Amino acid sequence: MNEFEHKLRIAEVVQNWAVWRDAGFWERFHTVWHEDGWMSATWFQGPASKFIEVSRRGFENGVSILHFLGGTSVDVRGKRAIAQTKMTISQRAEVDGVQVDVLCTGSFYDFFELRNIDGNEEWRIVRRQPIYEKDRMDPLDPDVQLQLDQELLKQFPNGYRHLAYLQSRLGFKIKRDMPELAGAVVQALYRRGEKWLSGDASAFDETPVESGL
């Protein structure tokens, strides 16, 4: 398999992640992750297996979180790869008595590894880390005046301020130091990605801590 074919397979996994997760195809969704896969989001940080389970429960209970993908850039080095994919996260819910849509723009930053699984060499995700760039909140009814708690809103980072506000109102514990478009946190993530491509044993600078649901 040449480099282009490796990149195509990785890009397919990225696309399958969004389609299968949002459609509720949980058995298929499981196959995009390695067994030690780790997912980070505003409201959840932990093993991919647990993320699949809490996502399934939310899906069955009517939680509306959808993902839309843009372009993907893939760097492959041996059996390691980093894929960065433009994306939007769309969540619909009631906040402060008003039905709203929140749209958050950013990218998925994925640590991939090629491993032998049941006799086949497969690219799967070891770590997924979203980067949050900007977001907005809109009432479904344009005639409704939305009044947000400004003190609460200002507690969250600019890149995912409205998404965090909505999720906190729904009872989620929000991680407040996620990577944004610029700054020290995202630069540290990029450095970790380079170390991963260079063969470092871990996709993390330090042991990750499970948090959220």
Per-residue confidence at 1, pLDDT binned at 50, 70, 90? confident
Question: Residues 104-111: what's their mean pLDDT?
Answer: 98
Question: Residues 69-80: what's their mean pLDDT?
Answer: 98
- Reply yes or no on whether the pLDDT at 213 is more than 70: no
Burial of 139 (0-12, 13-18, 19+ CB in 10 A): middle
Strands ordered across the beta sheet of 44-47:
64-77, 80-95, 98-117, 120-139, 33-40, 44-47, 211-212
- Reply yes or no on whether the pLDDT at 103 is more than 80: yes
Per-residue pLDDT, 108: 98
High-pLDDT (> 70) share of the chain, %: 100
Q: What is the pLDDT of residues 127-147, one digit of tens each?
A: 999 999 999 999 999 999 999
Q: Please state whether 69 falls in left (phi above 0), alpha (psi between -120 and 50) or beta.
A: beta
DSSP calls for the chain: --HHHHHHHHHHHHHHHHHHHHHT-HHHHHTTEEEEEEEE-SSEEEEHHHHHHHHHHHHHTT-EEEEEEEEEEEEEETTEEEEEEEEEEEEEEEETTEEEEEEEEEEEEEEEEEEEETTEEEEEEEEEEEEEEEEEEEESSTTSPP---HHHHTTS-GGGHHHHHHHHHTTPPPPS---BSSSHHHHHHHHHHHHHHTT-S-SSSS----EE-
If you average pLDDT over every residue of the chain, what do you get? 96
Q: What is the pLDDT of residues 43-68, one digit of tens each?
A: 999 999 999 999 999 999 999 999 99
Q: What is the pLDDT of residues 150-194, one digit of tens each?
A: 999 999 999 999 999 999 999 999 999 999 999 999 999 999 999
CATH number of 3-198: 3.10.450.50
Would you kindly state where each structural domain of the chain is located, as residue ranges? 3-198
